[in-house]
Amino acid sequence: MNKKIIPENRNGILNQLSFQDLNGITLVFFPEIKWNGTFLGTIDDRNITTKEVINGKDVWLLNFLQCKVMVNTAINMLPCINDEILDLFSLAKIGTHSVMYKNSLYILYKLEEHDNLLYSKPELVSEKTTREIRQIIVLKRKLGWSKFDEKNIILRWNNNLKYYRAIPLHENTISNFKNVIVTKKMYTKWIGIEIIDNQIFKDCLIWKIKKALIVELYMLISKIEKIILSIEPELVYIKNDLQRVIFQI
Protein backbone atom coordinates (compact mmCIF):
# COMPACT_ATOMS: atom_id res chain seq x y z
CA MET A 1 0.00 0.00 0.00
CA ASN A 2 2.88 2.37 0.70
CA LYS A 3 4.23 2.17 -2.84
CA LYS A 4 6.86 4.85 -3.45
CA ILE A 5 6.23 6.92 -6.56
CA ILE A 6 8.51 9.88 -7.25
CA PRO A 7 7.52 11.82 -10.39
CA GLU A 8 11.00 13.26 -11.04
CA ASN A 9 10.73 13.21 -14.82
CA ARG A 10 7.07 14.09 -15.08
CA ASN A 11 5.91 17.43 -16.43
CA GLY A 12 3.54 19.47 -14.34
CA ILE A 13 1.72 22.75 -14.80
CA LEU A 14 4.86 24.67 -13.80
CA ASN A 15 6.58 23.21 -16.83
CA GLN A 16 4.04 25.02 -19.00
CA LEU A 17 4.97 28.57 -18.06
CA SER A 18 4.80 31.25 -20.71
CA PHE A 19 7.41 34.00 -20.94
CA GLN A 20 7.23 37.45 -22.51
CA ASP A 21 9.91 40.10 -22.83
CA LEU A 22 8.76 43.66 -22.17
CA ASN A 23 11.40 46.37 -22.58
CA GLY A 24 14.13 44.04 -21.42
CA ILE A 25 12.09 42.69 -18.48
CA THR A 26 11.05 39.05 -18.61
CA LEU A 27 7.48 38.51 -17.45
CA VAL A 28 6.43 35.04 -16.34
CA PHE A 29 2.79 34.07 -16.77
CA PHE A 30 1.71 31.29 -14.44
CA PRO A 31 -1.25 29.18 -15.59
CA GLU A 32 -4.38 29.08 -13.46
CA ILE A 33 -3.91 26.59 -10.65
CA LYS A 34 -6.89 24.63 -9.38
CA TRP A 35 -6.59 22.85 -6.04
CA ASN A 36 -7.38 19.39 -7.36
CA GLY A 37 -4.46 17.30 -6.07
CA THR A 38 -2.42 17.24 -9.26
CA PHE A 39 1.37 17.33 -9.63
CA LEU A 40 2.63 20.85 -10.42
CA GLY A 41 6.24 20.14 -11.36
CA THR A 42 9.69 20.75 -9.88
CA ILE A 43 10.48 23.85 -7.82
CA ASP A 44 13.66 25.25 -6.28
CA ASP A 45 14.58 27.87 -3.67
CA ARG A 46 13.81 30.67 -6.12
CA ASN A 47 10.13 29.71 -5.92
CA ILE A 48 9.98 29.87 -2.12
CA THR A 49 9.43 33.42 -0.87
CA THR A 50 9.23 32.60 2.84
CA LYS A 51 9.45 29.59 5.13
CA GLU A 52 8.01 29.48 8.66
CA VAL A 53 6.75 27.04 11.27
CA ILE A 54 3.20 27.57 12.58
CA ASN A 55 1.81 25.29 15.30
CA GLY A 56 4.50 22.77 14.48
CA LYS A 57 3.63 22.74 10.76
CA ASP A 58 5.98 23.87 7.96
CA VAL A 59 4.36 26.71 6.03
CA TRP A 60 5.71 28.19 2.80
CA LEU A 61 4.78 31.12 0.61
CA LEU A 62 5.44 30.24 -3.04
CA ASN A 63 5.81 32.86 -5.75
CA PHE A 64 3.34 31.17 -8.11
CA LEU A 65 0.49 30.81 -5.62
CA GLN A 66 -1.88 33.38 -4.10
CA CYS A 67 -1.88 31.81 -0.64
CA LYS A 68 0.40 30.16 1.88
CA VAL A 69 0.67 26.38 1.93
CA MET A 70 1.44 23.83 4.58
CA VAL A 71 3.99 21.34 3.27
CA ASN A 72 4.86 17.78 4.12
CA THR A 73 7.05 15.17 2.46
CA ALA A 74 5.41 12.03 1.10
CA ILE A 75 6.30 8.88 -0.80
CA ASN A 76 3.40 9.21 -3.25
CA MET A 77 0.29 11.26 -3.99
CA LEU A 78 -2.12 9.34 -1.77
CA PRO A 79 -2.65 12.35 0.53
CA CYS A 80 -3.93 14.28 -2.52
CA ILE A 81 -6.21 11.41 -3.55
CA ASN A 82 -7.60 11.14 -0.02
CA ASP A 83 -8.37 14.86 0.00
CA GLU A 84 -10.23 14.72 -3.31
CA ILE A 85 -12.27 11.70 -2.15
CA LEU A 86 -13.72 13.77 0.72
CA ASP A 87 -15.94 15.65 -1.70
CA LEU A 88 -17.70 12.40 -2.63
CA PHE A 89 -18.74 12.03 1.01
CA SER A 90 -20.02 15.62 1.33
CA LEU A 91 -17.03 16.59 3.47
CA ALA A 92 -14.86 19.65 2.89
CA LYS A 93 -11.41 19.23 1.38
CA ILE A 94 -8.42 21.44 2.17
CA GLY A 95 -7.13 21.57 -1.42
CA THR A 96 -3.81 20.00 -2.36
CA HIS A 97 -1.06 19.73 -4.97
CA SER A 98 2.32 18.05 -5.08
CA VAL A 99 5.74 19.26 -6.21
CA MET A 100 9.28 17.96 -6.41
CA TYR A 101 11.77 19.92 -4.29
CA LYS A 102 15.40 18.89 -3.73
CA ASN A 103 14.70 15.37 -5.03
CA SER A 104 11.81 14.82 -2.61
CA LEU A 105 8.07 14.78 -3.15
CA TYR A 106 6.18 17.44 -1.18
CA ILE A 107 2.44 17.75 -0.66
CA LEU A 108 1.12 21.31 -0.66
CA TYR A 109 -1.97 21.96 1.49
CA LYS A 110 -3.85 25.16 0.73
CA LEU A 111 -4.20 27.48 3.72
CA GLU A 112 -6.73 30.26 4.08
CA GLU A 113 -6.35 33.34 6.26
CA HIS A 114 -8.53 32.23 9.15
CA ASP A 115 -7.72 28.50 9.21
CA ASN A 116 -7.21 27.04 12.68
CA LEU A 117 -6.13 23.67 14.02
CA LEU A 118 -8.86 21.95 16.04
CA TYR A 119 -6.68 21.39 19.11
CA SER A 120 -5.76 25.09 19.36
CA LYS A 121 -9.25 26.56 18.82
CA PRO A 122 -11.84 24.14 20.24
CA GLU A 123 -14.16 27.07 21.00
CA LEU A 124 -14.87 27.38 17.24
CA VAL A 125 -16.59 23.99 17.13
CA SER A 126 -20.36 24.11 16.60
CA GLU A 127 -22.89 21.28 16.55
CA LYS A 128 -22.50 21.04 12.76
CA THR A 129 -18.71 21.00 13.09
CA THR A 130 -18.97 18.19 15.65
CA ARG A 131 -21.09 16.16 13.24
CA GLU A 132 -18.42 16.56 10.56
CA ILE A 133 -15.64 15.53 12.95
CA ARG A 134 -17.60 12.35 13.71
CA GLN A 135 -18.06 11.72 10.00
CA ILE A 136 -14.32 12.14 9.44
CA ILE A 137 -13.52 9.64 12.19
CA VAL A 138 -16.00 7.11 10.78
CA LEU A 139 -14.66 7.57 7.26
CA LYS A 140 -11.06 7.26 8.40
CA ARG A 141 -11.83 4.07 10.31
CA LYS A 142 -13.63 2.50 7.39
CA LEU A 143 -11.21 3.50 4.63
CA GLY A 144 -8.07 2.83 6.64
CA TRP A 145 -6.54 6.29 6.53
CA SER A 146 -3.47 7.04 8.60
CA LYS A 147 -3.30 7.72 12.31
CA PHE A 148 -4.56 11.17 13.24
CA ASP A 149 -5.62 13.32 16.17
CA GLU A 150 -6.91 16.86 16.75
CA LYS A 151 -3.68 18.30 15.33
CA ASN A 152 -4.68 16.80 11.99
CA ILE A 153 -8.04 18.56 11.65
CA ILE A 154 -8.33 22.07 10.25
CA LEU A 155 -11.26 24.33 11.10
CA ARG A 156 -12.12 26.54 8.12
CA TRP A 157 -14.84 29.17 8.11
CA ASN A 158 -17.42 28.76 5.37
CA ASN A 159 -19.11 32.07 4.68
CA ASN A 160 -22.04 30.48 2.84
CA LEU A 161 -22.83 27.88 5.51
CA LYS A 162 -21.91 30.21 8.40
CA TYR A 163 -19.94 27.72 10.47
CA TYR A 164 -16.42 26.31 10.74
CA ARG A 165 -16.06 23.19 8.63
CA ALA A 166 -13.83 20.34 9.82
CA ILE A 167 -11.19 19.26 7.30
CA PRO A 168 -8.82 16.32 7.87
CA LEU A 169 -5.16 16.59 6.92
CA HIS A 170 -3.73 13.55 5.17
CA GLU A 171 -0.10 13.70 6.20
CA ASN A 172 0.68 10.07 5.43
CA THR A 173 -0.38 7.40 3.01
CA ILE A 174 -3.09 4.82 3.53
CA SER A 175 -1.65 2.30 5.97
CA ASN A 176 -4.09 -0.57 5.48
CA PHE A 177 -7.79 -1.21 5.12
CA LYS A 178 -8.41 -2.34 8.66
CA ASN A 179 -9.50 -0.06 11.46
CA VAL A 180 -7.54 3.16 11.36
CA ILE A 181 -5.57 4.17 14.43
CA VAL A 182 -7.53 6.84 16.30
CA THR A 183 -6.13 8.04 19.60
CA LYS A 184 -8.18 6.76 22.54
CA LYS A 185 -8.57 10.29 23.90
CA MET A 186 -9.98 11.58 20.62
CA TYR A 187 -12.22 8.56 20.06
CA THR A 188 -13.71 8.85 23.55
CA LYS A 189 -14.20 12.60 23.22
CA TRP A 190 -15.91 12.66 19.84
CA ILE A 191 -17.48 9.21 19.45
CA GLY A 192 -17.76 7.47 22.80
CA ILE A 193 -16.12 4.60 24.65
CA GLU A 194 -17.91 1.79 22.81
CA ILE A 195 -18.01 0.97 19.12
CA ILE A 196 -19.68 3.59 16.91
CA ASP A 197 -23.42 3.30 17.43
CA ASN A 198 -26.17 3.40 14.85
CA GLN A 199 -27.06 7.01 15.54
CA ILE A 200 -23.61 8.20 14.49
CA PHE A 201 -23.82 6.04 11.39
CA LYS A 202 -27.13 7.70 10.55
CA ASP A 203 -25.49 11.11 10.97
CA CYS A 204 -22.93 10.51 8.27
CA LEU A 205 -22.58 9.48 4.65
CA ILE A 206 -21.43 5.97 5.60
CA TRP A 207 -25.02 5.23 6.57
CA LYS A 208 -26.24 6.40 3.17
CA ILE A 209 -23.66 4.18 1.49
CA LYS A 210 -24.87 1.23 3.53
CA LYS A 211 -28.41 1.78 2.27
CA ALA A 212 -27.43 2.64 -1.30
CA LEU A 213 -28.30 0.55 -4.30
CA ILE A 214 -25.55 -1.56 -5.86
CA VAL A 215 -25.53 0.67 -8.94
CA GLU A 216 -24.96 3.75 -6.75
CA LEU A 217 -22.02 2.04 -5.05
CA TYR A 218 -20.46 1.22 -8.40
CA MET A 219 -20.94 4.84 -9.44
CA LEU A 220 -19.08 5.91 -6.28
CA ILE A 221 -16.23 3.52 -7.07
CA SER A 222 -16.11 4.86 -10.63
CA LYS A 223 -15.76 8.42 -9.33
CA ILE A 224 -12.98 7.35 -6.97
CA GLU A 225 -11.18 5.65 -9.85
CA LYS A 226 -11.45 8.82 -11.93
CA ILE A 227 -9.87 10.83 -9.10
CA ILE A 228 -7.00 8.37 -8.76
CA LEU A 229 -6.31 8.37 -12.51
CA SER A 230 -6.26 12.17 -12.63
CA ILE A 231 -3.71 12.40 -9.81
CA GLU A 232 -1.57 9.26 -9.88
CA PRO A 233 -2.53 6.50 -12.36
CA GLU A 234 0.05 4.11 -10.88
CA LEU A 235 -2.03 3.98 -7.69
CA VAL A 236 -5.21 2.83 -9.44
CA TYR A 237 -4.83 -0.57 -7.74
CA ILE A 238 -6.09 0.91 -4.46
CA LYS A 239 -9.51 1.25 -6.10
CA ASN A 240 -10.05 -2.48 -5.59
CA ASP A 241 -9.23 -2.22 -1.88
CA LEU A 242 -11.57 0.75 -1.48
CA GLN A 243 -14.30 -1.11 -3.35
CA ARG A 244 -13.96 -4.12 -1.07
CA VAL A 245 -14.18 -1.94 2.04
CA ILE A 246 -17.13 0.13 0.81
CA PHE A 247 -19.14 -2.98 -0.14
CA GLN A 248 -18.50 -4.41 3.33
CA ILE A 249 -19.93 -1.36 5.12
The whole-angstrom separation of Cα 34 and Cα 189 is 36
Domains in the chain, CATH or no CATH each: 13-110 (3.30.200.120), 116-248 (no CATH)
- Could you tell me which residue, 153 or 28, shows the higher pLDDT? 153
- Kind and range of the H or E run holding 198: helix 198-202
pLDDT higher than threshold 90 for residue 140: no
Q: Are 150 and 186 in contact (CB under 8 A)?
A: yes
Do 35 and 96 contact (CB within 8 A), yes or no? Answer: yes
Give the burial class of 52: count Cβ atoms within 10 A of its Cβ; 0-12 exposed, 13-18 middle, 19 or more buried.
Answer: exposed
Residue 103 gets which letter from DSSP? T
pLDDT at position 217, please?
82
- Quickly state the pLDDT bin for 179 (edges 50, 70, 90): very low
Distance, in Å, from the CA atom of 114 to the CA atom of 119, rounded to the nearest integer, reads 15
Report the alpha-carbon distance of residue 97 to residue 242 in Å, rounded.
22
- Higher model confidence: residue 17 or residue 104? 104
Whole-number mean pLDDT of the chain? 79
**Contact of 57 with 70, CB cutoff 8 Å:** yes
Give the residue, 69 or 196, on which the prediction is more confident: 69
